[in-house]
Amino acid sequence: MSEMREATFLILTALADEVRHGYGIVQEVSALSEGRVALLPGTLYAALDRLAAQGLVERDREEVVEGRLRRYYRLAEHGRTALAAESARLRQLSTAADARLRTLRPRSV
Per-residue pLDDT band at 3 (split at 50, 70, 90): confident
* pLDDT one-digit tens code per residue, 76-107: 999 999 999 999 999 999 999 999 998 887 77
Residue 73 has φ and ψ, to the nearest 5°, of -125, 155
Q: What is the pTM of this model?
A: 0.88
Per-residue pLDDT band at 109 (split at 50, 70, 90): low
Which neighbouring-strand residues pair with 64? 69
Residue range 63-84: average pLDDT?
Answer: 95
- State the architecture of 6-102 in CATH terms: Orthogonal Bundle (1.10)
Per-residue pLDDT band at 108 (split at 50, 70, 90): low
User: What pLDDT, on a 0 to 100 scale, did the predictor assign at position 87?
Assistant: 96
The edge-to-edge listing of strands for the beta sheet with 57-65 is: 20-21, 68-75, 57-65
pLDDT at 1 over 60: no
**Domain spans, the chain:** 6-102
Q: Are 12 and 75 in contact (CB under 8 A)?
A: yes
Computed over every residue of the chain, the mean pLDDT equals: 93
